[in-house]
Amino acid sequence: MAEILKHAVPRAEVAASLDQVRETVTGVIADIRERGDAAVRAYSEKFDNWSPDSFRLSDEEVERIVASVPRQVIEDIRFVQDQVRNFARRQLDSLQEFEVETLPGVRLGQKHIPVQAAGAYIPGGRYPLTASAHMTIVTAKVAGVPRVVACTPPIHGEIPAATVAAMHLAGADEIWLLGGVQAVAAMAVGTDAMRPVNLIAGPGNAYVAEAKRQLFGEIGIDLFAGPTEILVLADEHADPFVCAVDLLSQAEHGPDSPAVLITTSREVAERTVAEVERLLPGMPTRDFAEPAWRDHGQVHVVDSLDELYTLADEFAFEHVEVLTADPREALERMTQYGALFLGEGTCVSFGDKVIGTNHVLPTRGAARYTGGLWVGKYLKTVTYQEVTDTGSQALLGRLCGRASRVELFEGHARSGDVRAAKAAGDELQWNGA
């Protein structure tokens, strides 16, 4: 049985907060549907104190902004985007189109068609999250999306130059300095200034995530996501200092970011908690990391690795870092996670920033039914059928007639009957002509 050394706040408190977010987002989306660009501008002024003549950057503005970014930053962006692009291309190569003849003259096929317009939301607000540009835009372009609209908010009324550079170098076709629900709603429903997209991808705060949830169906989304999560799995060999540093690395994302440790060692658990408390006061991002750890941090001590992996799957967390003697065992033992980070030499921050796998991952238990953003999310896998052999037309037509009438679908049955009649001369008893 697991012993819980540290609890999170009750779920009821979290649910109440989400109810308030849901109500606010509903109102903003409805207003943007009704008033379009005027509402977008009003919310940008209200939430971001930002109301330029045009929210979309011109090519000249983009070039000027990119030129202001230090050369080392540009080189680093290019390097990381190469990693993301290479991994996305390998994913694309794994998706096979095919055509197969299943009966004489019966050809069935599968092909992949990119969505024609995708929206990429790159969070800002407090931090310039350049890495989200790599994950959303580069991956969309590898998939072949012809139009990628990228939105990011200003930061304290200033243009986030490094983020704009990342968006541009990733291949964005349109760059908008627009954030929050107003950006998501504008991309989804369209305004006079912005044509709508077919799918929106990218992380964001609770309001952005709720906007995507409410608009899903009208448009596609990458996945339902909430605050960043980290789950550290540790045995007695783990270094408590590393455990603490890595837990706090994700807690700094926001005050509602869960950071959880499951360990087979009470000593590792207690020392990790002590290290967290030691490190927190000196963190520049303490104002986010401290409430995240206080309200959403958890520590569980279990008796065995079997219990550890079972409990880990129950959490179904976004990021799972495995600090055990045999970390690759998790590949066989676990089934519910967004991404695994195996061994002390690998950290979640690598995945967030530099290594090449996508950091847009499922949260709030969504890992039970989906993985994270990948090149296939921007593709529609479609099928096609062709029947040219008259014998197969007759066979399938008669079968279709019988199968449809079992279900009382006479119209379907008659479509099958007609094919059998044309191919083999079957009589259409229902046709009085």
What are the catalytic residues?
Answer: 318-319
CA distance 51 to 412: 56
Closest of 255, 267, 143, 254 to residue 198, by C-alpha: 143
Sheet holding 339-342, edge to edge: 3-6, 297-301, 259-263, 230-234, 319-323, 339-342
CA distance 349 to 347: 5
CA distance 81 to 133: 9
φ/ψ (deg, to 5) at 130:
-60, -35
CA distances from 215 to 21, 224, 372 (A): 15, 11, 19
DSSP-assigned letter for residue 261: E
Within 10 A of 1 (CB to CB), how many other CB atoms are there? 6
Place of tokens 């530099």: 354
DSSP-assigned letter for residue 104: T
List the structure tokens of 288.
Answer: 């986010």
Closest of 231, 263, 182 to residue 361, by C-alpha: 231
CA distance 330 to 338: 13
Q: How far is CA 381 from the centre of its chain?
A: 18
3-state secondary structure of 97: coil
Helices within 177-315 (DSSP H only): 180-189, 206-215, 240-251, 266-279, 286-296, 305-315
